[in-house]
Amino acid sequence: MIPPPERSDFPALAGREPPAYLDSACMSLVPRPVLGAMEAYYREYPGCAGRSLHRFAEEVGRRYEAARVAYARFFGGVDPNGVVFLRNATEAINLVGQGLPWRRGDRVLISDQEHNSNLIVWQRLARERGIRLEVLSLPDDGSFDPDALAQLLSRPVRLVSLFHTSNLDGRSLPVREIAEEAHDRGALVLFDGCQAAPHEAVDLGRIGADFYAVSGHKMLGPTGTGVLLGRPEALESLRPLVVGGETVAWSTLSDHALRPPPYRFEAGLQNYAGVIGAHAALDYLTRVGFEEVHRRALDLNRRVSRALAGERRLRLLGPAAPEERPSIFAFALDGIDPNDTALFLDEGHRVMVRSGMHCVHSYYERRGLPGNVRASFYLYNNRPDAEALIAGVREILERVGPGRLNGTSAGTARPTTRPGSARRHGAGSRAAAARSARPLRTTGRRRAASATGSG
């Protein structure tokens, strides 16, 4: 059993009955050192970096640039001038997409399993700037076909933009080989590193990407913190998304000169508390170590995968082996809406998972699927979390027995059986995510949900 010495560092897991939080692929929990670093900014030196000369401003400026150096070191010792602080990875990808000097007919290569953040910007540019979108199809079993990539790169491609690790099923792409192949054909390379960076040591010098986008809120940091890491010479070619305060070296009523990267991309007052907190998150991850992060996630994924392997009505998404998707267990249950499954697990077993289409609508639309359930593991999860997930899945399958199914599979059609009443929620994030009934509670520590209603 994996010891969980860091669980006490996470306030969200405090209390006598902490939840089994298995939604870290969406957003990780925040440890106390990160919260303390953010609070210290507001309490001890709440100034504006780079503007005033008093001690508050000097201190926040020093810490803000220290965070930039920390990110550069964390990602393999890249040039700190290639670290741009933004709101999230979505903004980072948009900065590259909107900032490159496109010519009509330029090609961008993506995969058929990209997050909306790495899809919509290119669709928009296709409509507005005349670029062409090329799509690399990825096998559902998690394998990668280098010949398919080479075939698409046989014609000139301006930019290859792919995920490093998928938020859909947890697979990782051979990013170093992809970057080498793309560069040999004269293409720039952008990787969405949101799911990789929290779980493994990413050496950008070794990978060789031109741009790499991450979000702090997936790696123990606060919301509203993201980073675009890029080669300084590649960043020089980008047009800023926003200009104004702090982006210019000088201005007159008729002209201005932009500062060099990264400062030309960081307009206006920054999220100083967030960036300082994100730095503390990097320190925390470094202390734990990625070997331990990986070991914990894989141990729990193996336990869940093996325990549920015999459930014939459970359809696994992505590679069969947990070693090929160590942080994610994505599944659907035949005849049960994935949102109902998520509500059942939350209300009945205190297990928090993600349901729906995971911002990869295109993947499900092409297959006619209603979505699936995704459990994601991180360094603060322990064996009881995995056991709670296993128990919840087994219980909902038992309550919605084979005789209640309409003969369809969750992988082929929308199910009609719903484990709860037909009452819908009001407006709010839960209603938007679930669109289905709240399971009924029972007394006692274990809260089971009713599975007697129909859809």
Residue 407's pLDDT is what?
A: 35
**Tell me: the pLDDT tens digits for 400-433?**
877 554 433 333 333 333 444 323 333 333 433 4
Task: Give the dihedral of Cα atoms 145, 149, 151, 152; nearest 10 deg.
Answer: 140
- pLDDT category of residue 2 using cuts at 50, 70 and 90: very low
Residue 107 has a CB neighbour count (10 Å cut-off) of 17
CA pseudo-torsion sign 400, 401, 406, 409:
positive
Q: Between 271 and 6, name the one with better pLDDT.
A: 271
Decide the pairing of beta strands 256-258 and 248-251: antiparallel
The answer to whether residue 440 scores a pLDDT higher than 50 is no
What mean pLDDT is predicted for residues 328-333? 97
Active site residue 359: yes
DSSP 8-state symbol, 249: E
Amino acid at 340: D
| Residue 321 phi, psi dihedral angles, 5° rounding | -80, 130
Given 26, 48, 194, 359, the catalytic residue: 359
Alpha helices in 271-426 (DSSP H): 272-288, 290-308, 338-349, 361-367, 383-399
How many whole angstroms separate alpha carbon 46 and alpha carbon 276? 12
What mean pLDDT is predicted for residues 307-335? 96
How many whole angstroms separate alpha carbon 140 and alpha carbon 216? 29
What domains are defined for the chain?
11-30+289-434 (3.90.1150.10), 45-287 (3.40.640.10)
Residue 420's pLDDT is what?
A: 44
What mean pLDDT is predicted for residues 8-19? 92
Both tokens of residue 108?
A: 């961008």
Place of tokens 């160590």: 326
Q: Nearest Cα to 168, choosing from 336, 354, 399?
A: 354
What mean pLDDT is predicted for residues 346-350? 96
Residue 453's pLDDT is what?
A: 34
| Residue 101 phi, psi dihedral angles, 5° rounding | -80, 85
DSSP-assigned beta bridge partners for residue 232: none
Q: Which of 47-56, 142-151, 211-220, 318-327 has the lowest mean pLDDT?
A: 47-56
Please state, in angstroms and as integers, the Cα–Cα distance from residue 107 to each residue in 52, 94, 191, 231, following that order. Answer: 45, 16, 16, 21
How many whole angstroms separate alpha carbon 186 and alpha carbon 405? 53
Residue 222's pLDDT is what?
A: 98
What mean pLDDT is predicted for residues 7-28? 94
Both tokens of residue 212?
A: 């790499």
DSSP 8-state symbol, 64: H
Q: Write b or e for each residue in 320-336: b if 16 or more Cβ atoms lie within 10 A of its Cβ, otherwise e.
A: eebeebbbbbbbbbbbb
What mean pLDDT is predicted for residues 45-56? 91
Residue 344 has a CB neighbour count (10 Å cut-off) of 31
DSSP-assigned beta bridge partners for residue 4: none
**Tell me: the pLDDT tens digits for 158-184?**
999 999 999 999 999 999 999 999 999
What mean pLDDT is predicted for residues 273-302? 97
Q: Is residue 184 within 8 Å of 205, Cβ to Cβ? A: no
How many whole angstroms separate alpha carbon 64 and alpha carbon 225? 13
Both tokens of residue 309?
A: 């392997």
CA angle 32, 37, 42 (to 5 degrees): 125
